[in-house]
Amino acid sequence: MGPVRGELAGRNRRRPANAFPTLRTVRTGDVIGGRYELEDARGSGSGGVVWAAFDRKLKRRVALKRPHAAADHAERARFRREAETAAQVNHPNAVSVFDTVDADDCWLVMEYVPAESLDRVLAAGGPLPPERVARIGVQVASALAAVHAKNIVHRDVKPGNVLVTDDDLAKLTDFGVSLWREVTRTDDGRVTGTPAYTSPEVAGGYPASRASDVFSLGATLFAAVEGTPPFGDGEAHEVLERVRRGEVRPMRRAGPLAPLLADMLRPRPAARPTADEVRARLKEVVGEWEPPVPRPARVPVRRRPAFRAAAGIAFVVALSAAVLTWPYRAPAAQTSASAGGLVGDERTADPCALIDQEELRRFGPTRVSTTYGNFNRCDALVDVRAVKPVDVEIQLITRTSRAVQGGPLDVVVEAGSSEECDRTVVVDDAYAVRVTAKLANPPVDLCAVVESATGSVLEVLRGGPIPRRAVPFPAGSLANVDACALLDDEALVALAGFNGGSAVNVFGHWGCKWYSTLGGPAVNLRYDQEPAQQLIEGEPVEVGGRTGYVHVDRESSTGCAVSVPHRPRGSAQGTHIDVVELTVGGDRPGIEYCPRAQRLAAVAAAKLPS
């Protein structure tokens, strides 16, 4: 089941007329078309869901995309035709289409490379200087010119479909394969595209053309340099009405780009420059600057497995069998994306404030614990007259650490089991709340418990920002230590063969994930809290001047974990201690990763405060 806005999933409600038909559920490890093994659900938008996958035949990573909606026979035929057309595009600044699989809900197989979409770049840092916008624009215009030369119309040029790396390599993605086309319906139902970047003629119901692509590129570059689309934001019908009237906002920051943008945004299609003319004029602005040449790397021989770090970033694979990689810049964007929003400062947001004990007490006596896991988590323990209580976990997470579909206050139903039920509440573009109920052989319906807890989460979020923690963390707590800083790029490259700059903050920098874009194992470092007198699982080993405990991960059997207890010197004897949990996991038996896990744990342990 997909996201449900404003209500809990599972309740009786009439399906809206435009709701997506149900697709079959897919999970990590499923093989699509007998060839592509799914790894991570990396992101979701109005156009569909994108997965990282491993191509078993060519031994490389690819990106697989399928739409939210199921396809009928006619749509499948159109999908194949349009995908074949898109596959003709071979340009360094355009995403390549490698393959299609239409036997399993219509999948598109594309290039893969991690990069940030332009809309995320703008959300994180605000408007860009004209020179940088020109550098991005000259590449996208070049790609559009190549596309138009093959009589292909993109139909949806917008910041979300432009990928940008740190060194300003830009790629145009999401060519107009109809199943993925974002649709905005007005009174006459004829408009396709994204309202803020739609040309006047398309807003008036005419088909998209090369000239409308140029207009959309102009609107995209306008938004990049001015910080807002040329026709502003708001309800779709309001934006489209301003588009039809040609009410372009004045340019205040565009500088040398202003004359060209004005020409690209002309109301009459015939008066606009072609994509190639746009490229030539932007080339005059950028001068001698040349787009960076991607540095090819070896093709991965193993898929990247278990501890997957889902990034809320747009991505595609390299133009050939080679894999291109760029560092991922997570923390700054995550912190700023919700500044002043419902989460605010990650380290002071109180997950326990999302729990309504009175609501849960209808299932049994309830108490709250803050020491059942990491610092971003709060647990409600509900006594249901079983051997153990139902453990209801409320966990704050970043959406870059776990792929989450939907918009603000949507509730996503996760795949569960008889012993676990899960929901995810979308907070905003940057954050989500995981709600999980666990108990072996439960005498109650765990999903009923979860729906009750989820309703409380929604009620708090609708009321405004999450309340702050009443009591700060103790001075010696690991809650004051940045988990992402415990492993530096040098250690990751030398000891684990990872790419530098791949850290993904889970929440509050109390957990961090690193993954190799070249395949191979992944690293998950997080904090935990354990009873002070409880024996820690594993064989004792010396790591970084401390005692750690190493063991093969029981759940996956393809990971090796090292636990490092942390009790600051001079701290009072408490009921619980902090623990660093470092896991290296992959597709090999877990024991094979233990040496690497111990080496990395030694680096992390040596950086812990005494």
* Cβ pair 311, 504 in contact under 8 A: yes
Look at residue 569 in the predicted model and tell me its pLDDT: 65
Tokens of 408: 């603000």
Residue 270: HSE in the Cβ half-sphere, 13 Å Cα cutoff: 0
Claim: this prediction has a pTM higher than 0.85: no
pLDDT at position 207:
84
Question: What are the Cα distances from residue 76, in Å, to 33, 73, 100, 106, 154?
Answer: 15, 5, 11, 7, 19
Query: Nearest 5°: phi and psi at 492?
Result: -65, -40
Q: What is the mean pLDDT of each run of 10 residues along the chain (610 residues)?
A: 34 39 76 89 65 87 79 70 74 86 80 82 92 96 90 88 89 71 40 70 84 95 93 71 78 94 93 95 93 52 36 32 27 38 94 96 95 96 94 95 86 83 93 96 93 95 94 90 91 70 88 72 92 90 95 86 86 82 89 93 93
Judged by DSSP in three states, 165 sits in: coil
Residues with a known catalytic role: 156
Of 183, 179, 192, 191, residue with least CA distance to 73: 179
List of residues 6+ apart from 387 with CB closer than 8 A: none
Could you tell me which of 167, 213, 143 has the C-alpha nearest to residue 325? Answer: 167
Phi-psi label, residue 516: left if phi above 0, alpha if psi -120 to 50, beta otherwise = beta
Structure tokens at 158: 């917008």
- What's the distance, Cα to Cα, between the start and end of the chain in Å? 48
Q: What is the pLDDT of residue 156?
A: 86
- Residue 529's H or E segment, with its range, is strand 522-531
Q: Helix 275-286 crosses helix 130-149 at what angle (to 10 degrees)?
A: 150
* pLDDT at position 28: 87
Q: For residue 54, what are its two tokens?
A: 């491993």
pLDDT of residue 431: 96
At residue 247, the pLDDT reads 75
For residue 234, what pLDDT is reported?
Answer: 64
Q: What are phi and psi of 543, to 5 degrees?
A: -135, 115
* Rounded distance between C-alpha atoms, residue 537 and residue 124, angstroms: 41
**Of the candidates 372, 377, 366, which has an alpha carbon nearest to the alpha carbon of residue 534?**
372
The pLDDT of residue 493 is: 78
Can you tell me whether residue 154 is helix, strand or coil? coil
The overall longest dimension of the chain from CA atoms, in Å, is 78
pLDDT at 27: 83
